[in-house]
Amino acid sequence: MPRMLPDGRRLGAHLPLAGGMVRAVNRAAEIGADAIQVFADNPTAWRRRETPPSEQPAFRARLADLGIGPVAIHAAYLVNLAGPDEGFFGRSVDVLSSDLRAAPGFRARFVNVHIGSHRGSGVTAGTQRLADGLALTLAEVDGGPDAALVVMENSAGSGFGLGVDIVELAGIMDAAVARGVSADRLGFCLDTAHAWAAGIDISEPAAIDEFIDEFETRIGLEKLVMIHLNDSKSERGSHLDRHEHLGAGQIGAVGLGHLLRHPALAHATFYLETPGMDEGYDAVNVARAHAIAAGARLDDLPPEAFELRSDRSRTGPGA
Ligand SMILES: [Zn+2]
Ligand SMILES: [Zn+2]
């Protein structure tokens, strides 16, 4: 299978750091990934480590040696800057700014964060709250040349999730800029499984083209810096976020292949968040991405492949 994607675009995977940080970089190279996404700390806890992991300098050196990047840090799942609860909002600002301050130590260009939920307070209120949260967060973080972008990920739309379509994503960018946030510090991530769950027909080239055109018109495609390339176990529009192996789910190889080859997306880095990263399916899905991009036939997966988890909850770095 060809090891290069069209137009030199880069493909990474979310890999666990718990088994060793250098080992994770070696694994990325071994499976043919160009880039890597990681958790900087426990993704399901508010508590952040006080000192960087001891392996961090070796991690940075190995990334440079093997030419692996860009690195994305996936922020804690708990972060919600769009909700009305004051205590939750304050903790979200703290933990997101902590992940952003940690980013240069990981050589990370992106800190990817879920846009969050307005919790029933409405899209307008949620968007304003998020803009306030971004302003407060970024005021806590040095914006120098090594600073990571805050990369906001589209929502599957369950539980009052904000950022389900271009109108809401554009509204978020406009509100943040109006609040005084520099657009240079912000970007977006398109999670294909979330878009599908939110009702966007990412299985259809024509619908993808329409989405991309609208993104360019309302936001600017240079702001679409990350793509979470996932297939989905769920029905379109179901609001259920359940990732599947590439080409083996409801989205399928036609839509995913259109994204992987789309000339307007060559600048974006694609990251897999597919099931079974700890069980060898990291390599399987990188190979499937290359096959899909090349329009090649995909191998059938064994039944046990469909029982694997994709929640990636055990994968922060050790000491
Ligand atoms: Zn995602
Ligand atoms: Zn997801």
Q: Which pLDDT tens digit goes with each residue over 65-92?
A: 999 999 999 999 999 999 999 999 999 9
Q: In this structure, is residue 312 part of a structural domain?
A: no
Residue 226 in any domain: the answer is yes
pLDDT for 318 equals 72
Ligand in closest contact with the CA of 241? 2
- Residue 202 neighbours by CB distance under 10 Å: 29
Report whether pLDDT(313) > 80. Answer: no
The pair phi, psi for residue 311, each rounded to 5°, is: -85, -10
Residue 14's pLDDT band, with cuts at 50, 70 and 90, is: very high
> Which ligand is in closest contact with the Cα of 271?
1
Q: Does residue 207 form part of some domain?
A: yes
Q: Residue 314 above 70 pLDDT?
A: no
Share of the chain above pLDDT 90, in %: 94
Ligand 1 centroid vs 122 CA: distance in angstroms?
23
Residue 1 inside a domain? The answer is: no
Neighbours of 38 (CB within 10 A): 26
Residues that place a CB less than 5 A from ion ligand 2: 241
- How far is ligand 2, taken at its centre, from the CA of residue 271, in Å? 12
Query: What's the mean pLDDT in 133-156?
Result: 96
Specify the pLDDT at position 308: 87
Please name the residue ranges forming H helices in the chain: 21-30, 56-66, 86-102, 123-139, 166-178, 192-197, 205-218, 253-261, 281-293
Domains: count for the chain: 1
Ligand located closest to 242 CA: 2
Backbone angles phi, psi at 13, to 5 degrees: -140, 150
Quick: pLDDT tens for 207-232: 999 999 999 999 999 999 999 999 99
Ligand nearest to the CA of 243: 2
CB-based contact 123:161 (threshold 8 Å): no
Nearest ligand, CA 228 = 1
**Whole-angstrom distance, CA of residue 42 vs CA of residue 95:** 11
The answer to whether 256 and 292 are in contact (CB under 8 A) is: yes
The alpha carbon of residue 167 and the mean position of all alpha carbons in its chain are separated, in whole angstroms, by 20
* Ligand 2 midpoint to CA 193 (Å): 6
Lookup: tokens for 250: 């409801």
pLDDT for position 311:
63
Domain-embedded: residue 315: no
Query: How many angstroms is it from 201 CA to the middle of ligand 1?
Result: 17
Mean pLDDT calculated for residue range 238-249? 97
- Tell me the CATH number at 140: 3.20.20.150
In sequence order, what are the beta bridge partners of 36?
13, 71
For 258-312, the pLDDT digits (tens) are 999 999 999 999 999 999 999 999 999 999 999 999 999 999 999 999 998 776 5
Q: How many helices (H) and strands (E) does the chain have?
A: 9, 10
Residue 163 lies in a domain: yes
- pTM here is 0.96
Q: Report the separation in Å between the CA atom of 38 and the middle of ligand 1, taken as the mean of its atom positions.
A: 12
- Let me know if residue 316 belongs to a domain: no
CA distance 136 to 90: 9
Range of the domain at 168: 6-307
CA distance 126 to 183: 19
Residue type (1 letter), 233:
K
Which ligand is closest to the CA of 191, given by its number? 1
According to DSSP, the β-strands at 269-272 and 186-191 are unpaired
> What count of other Cβ atoms lies within 10 Å of the Cβ of residue 126?
29
Which residues neighbour 217 within 8 Å (Cβ) at sequence distance 6 or greater?
none
Q: Taking all residues of the chain, what is their mean pLDDT, rounded to a whole number?
A: 95
pLDDT band (50, 70, 90) for residue 319:
low
Residues 221, 267, 229, 6, Cα dihedral to 10°: 130
